[in-house]
Chains A and B, each alone.
Chain A
Amino acid sequence: MLAISRQRILGQCFQKIRPAVSELRSYSSAAKQITVREALNSSLDEEMSADPKVFLMGEEVGEYQGAYKITKGLLEKYGPERVLDTPITEAGFTGIGVGAAYYGLKPVVEFMTFNFSMQAIDHIINSAAKSNYMSAGQISVPIVFRGPNGAAAGVGAQHSQCYAAWYASCPGLKVLSPYNSEDARGLLKAAIRDPDPVVFLENELLYGESFPVSDEVLDSSFSLPIGKAKIEREGNDVTITAFSKMVGYALKAAEILEKDGINAEVINLRSIRPLDRSTINASVRKTNRLITVEEGFPQHGVGAEICSSVVEESFAYLDAPVERIAGADVPMPYAANLERMAVPQVEDIVRAAKRACYRSVPLAATA
């Protein structure tokens, strides 16, 4: 308690030094709350305003104001030459986006969900990701592919897959996945400014969630570094890595674990490729235990890569096997109870953390 009040006093001192705008705010350091949707929309707006080469294309991004309203108001502001409604032809319009990037424009291509990106995946991988390498640096591809990724609610098998592992395995791509509004703003801006192809994996269920943001985050020059994870919650007993929606679940799991005396460190990956191996390994060297959490299919997933990295770099520091929480190894079912079983829940993360901490399950010889 003492620590908290000390922080408030310090905060007040800083308020006085900061410019006039902040003086009218309350003494808490992050006054404003914005939704992830607002964060993405404002980032697109600011980057389009700053650079005339940035343009948007995708299904319903213009007149419909965006299937999930992420691009709301942008057609009115920037006109139909810069906000382009496409027909339902992912292979065609993605190829067109990549070609425009070859010429030097900066397209932001929206997939209504990343499930539809599979129709265009050849352009993402073969036309975009590999071009800078094949041309020995002549053809760079400053494009962003963005849209909702992973499970929504009740949308069934064909509309629920997480593509993080697939895209992150490919050299030449950068793959980012925001959790909160600060992530959404900082990472999307960084993605648009980056000269390489970036796959930007959002989450439909997070669009409406509000998070506090500081003035710095709201500034139009704000951006976050690509390739750096964030320690959302510090801890000493077990490391939990997660990205996107699962960060929220991991934080909830950490609160529950705290009551049982387990102090969890939650890492928000933010960047799936490049993966911040040094932050993850430094954390595991401190806590000696690791849980990886992801929504996607378990086999060959993001958690598998993280586990490998830790085994390679920090084996001696592990006091327990790495635990992996992932989506169920089945296509996403529709029935609500089955769907709940197919996606990680907070209790799954808690259970895995306890296993890692207590080794309560006796080791049985395999047949």
Chain B
Amino acid sequence: MALSYLRSSSSRSANLLKPLSSGLSLRSPISTDTTPITVETSVPFTSHRCDAPSRSVETNPKELLTFFRDMALMRRMEIAADSLYKAKLIRGFCHLYDGQEAFAVGMEAAITKKDCIITAYRDHCTFMGRGGTLLEVFAELMGRQAGCSKGKGGSMHFYKKDSNFYGGHGIVGAQVPLGCGLAFAQKYSKDETVTFAMYGDGAANQGQLFEALNISALWDLPAILVCENNHYGMGTAEWRAAKSPAYYKRGDYVPGLKVDGMDALAVKQACKFAKEHALKSGPIILEMDTYRYHGHSMSDPGSTYRTRDEISGVRQERDPIERIRKLILSHDLASEKELKDIEKEVRKEVDDAITRAKESPMPEPSKLFTNVYAKGLGVESFGADRKEVRATLP
């Protein structure tokens, strides 16, 4: 997620000589400014079996601007996906993340690309956070060759192994034991890195989660289980699905932290805390109090089980992008116009990526038979009519 447009040389003085956007004073360009700023999180952390980290989060103008831009990009991307789905260019399932962006960006700010992330099917923005491109997202959603899974995965199956992003999983809850397995492998390999295994409030009741958590605690695995609690498992509100919706406490013997998931800085602080904990003492659960503006997926209007007032209320009071915008403006790090310009740029980037994605062709028919195995051994595979269509697996 590079700030290719605004970023210039690392020397601040050199930047001062470059023409700034109209109407600005001589303050330092925020794109490279790493002067520390301390901000208080919206609400304090609530902890279970551990000492909560401080509410005071260290950040800087560069980071805040990166948050703003990245979240604006994610927001625009998801809204564009909505339109593409309604235009029938995206088929099947499409689960949108708008409203939840603060988690994707806050987590990335606390970790490296050597740490692993695994999530469920609401994965477009998580993929972007790991360094995926808009073209890869839109092309995959439309089933084209330029997609991150070459068109063979679809919305729920984005992967980026070179940045340790392991998908993209359609079976609710399965990604949690898989994530604990990644953590096992990191510990086995002595990599000193951690895994963030994300799941929703719907998946939080899955038995396999507790099985994996038990093993992780027994074996001291560097696993961080993150419950992105958007309060609705598809159409079922948390109080109807969980006897105890205090998901951060559900680990029982495993420590937990409840975090305002709409506050990117709180997310960053919590993830930093969790990483340190996991490397030293084993698994920890983070519960992110977050919200999705869209329904569960594109086939769900999202308003039959919650009121429009609730949705607009959250948008008014807690929108993650608005929070960062207010912070940037109140600290005088950029003007309203500059931020609006960023949003315009981002919109254009998204539109350009969609145009390029539409130009990408669908996969060649021969690709039906590729990647069934890593090592196909020259065996035969068959199409629907095996006397018509056969292939040898390489």
Q: Interface 1/0s, chain A 133-144, versus B by CB < 8 A?
A: 111111110100
> Which chain A residues lie closer than 8 Å to B169 at the CB level?
127
- Report A-chain residues with C-beta under 8 Å of the C-beta of B374: 132, 137, 140, 142, 195-196
- A132 and B150 within 8 A (CB): no
Bound CA span A102–B118, Å: 11
Contacts of B157 in A (CB 8 A): 134-135
Are A95's CB and B177's CB within 8 A? Answer: yes
Whether A226 contacts B377 by the Cβ 8 Å rule is: yes
Separation of A91 and B153 alpha carbons in the complex (Å):
24
In chain B, what residue has the closest Cβ to A126? B171
Interface residues on B, range: 35 or more
Q: How many residues of A contact B (CB 8 A)?
A: 48
Which 3 A-B pairs have CB atoms at the shortest separation, nearest pair first? A99-B181, A95-B177, A92-B211
Q: Say whether A100 faces chain B, with CB atoms less than 8 Å apart.
A: yes
Q: Are A96 and B372 in contact (CB under 8 A)?
A: no
From A91, A100, A137, A274, contact of B185 by CB (8 A) = A100
Complex contacts, B189 vs chain A, CB 8 Å: 103, 105
Q: Is the CB of A92 within 8 A of B188?
A: no
Segment with Cβ contacts to B, from A12-20, A81-89, A175-183, A290-298 = A81-89
Contact residues of A with B, CB < 8 Å?
Answer: 55, 81, 84, 86-87, 89, 91-105, 122-123, 126-127, 131-140, 142, 171-172, 174, 194-196, 225-227, 274, 277, 312
A sample of 6 more A-B contacts (CB under 8 A), given A98-B177, A99-B118, A103-B186, is: A84-B219, A96-B181, A96-B184, A103-B116, A138-B149, A142-B374
Shortest distance from the beta carbon of B216 to any chain A beta carbon, whole Å? 8
Listed in ascending order, the chain B residues whose CB lies under 8 Å from chain A are 116, 118, 149-153, 157, 159-161, 166-171, 174, 176-186, 188-189, 207-208, 210-212, 214-215, 218-219, 370-375, 377, 379-381, 386-387
Most B CB atoms within 10 A — which of A100, A104, A135, A274?
A135
Instruction: For A99, give its contact among B153, B160, B185, B381 (CB under 8 Å).
Output: B185
For the complex formed, measure the closest distance between the CB of B57 and the CB atoms of chain A, giving whole angstroms. Answer: 31
Give Cα A89–Cα B373 distance, bound, in whole angstroms.
Answer: 28
- Does the CB pair B149–A81 fall under 8 Å? no
Per the bound structure, the CA–CA distance linking A98 and B197 in Å amounts to 14
Minimal Cβ-Cβ distance residue in B for A123: B174
Kindly provide the distance from the CB of A322 to the nearest chain B CB, expressed in whole angstroms.
Answer: 18
Q: Contact between A86 and B152 (Cβ–Cβ < 8 Å)?
A: no
Q: How far is the CB of B175 from chain A (nearest CB, A)?
A: 9
Closest A-chain residue to B151, C-beta based? A136
With A103-B181, A138-B149 as known contacts, state yes or no: A91 contacts B386, CB within 8 Å.
no
Query: Hey, which chain A residues are within 8 Å of B386, CB to CB?
Result: 312
Instruction: Please give the distance in Å from B310's CB to the nearest CB on chain A.
Output: 34
A96 to B209, CA, bound (A): 11
Q: Of A100, A122, A137, which one neighbours B184 at CB under 8 angstroms?
A: A100
Between A and B, 17 residue pairs with Cβ closer than 8 Å are A95-B174, A95-B176, A95-B208, A95-B211, A98-B178, A99-B182, A99-B183, A99-B184, A102-B166, A104-B185, A123-B178, A127-B171, A132-B371, A132-B374, A134-B157, A136-B371, A137-B371
Q: Which B residues lie within 8 Å of A132 (CB)? A: 371-374
B206 — nearest CB in chain A belongs to which residue?
A91
Name the residue of chain A whose CB is nearest to the CB of B150. Answer: A136
Q: Which of B151, B152, B181 contacts A102 (CB 8 A)?
A: B181
Q: Is the CB of A92 within 8 A of B149?
A: no
Measured in the bound complex, the distance between the Cα atoms of B211 and A97 in whole Å is 13
Contacts of A95 in B (CB 8 A): 174, 176-178, 180-181, 208, 211-212
CA distance A91 to B165 in the complex (A): 22
**CB-defined contacts of A101 to chain B, threshold 8 Å:** 181
How near does chain A come to B286, taking the closest CB pair, in angstroms? 19
- Expressed in whole angstroms, the minimum distance between the Cβ of A220 and any Cβ of chain B is 21
A296 to chain B, nearest CB (A): 22
Of B170, B177, B214, B380, the residue contacting A87 (CB under 8 A) is: B214
CA distance A227 to B379 in the complex (A): 8
A241 to B: closest C-beta gap in Å: 17
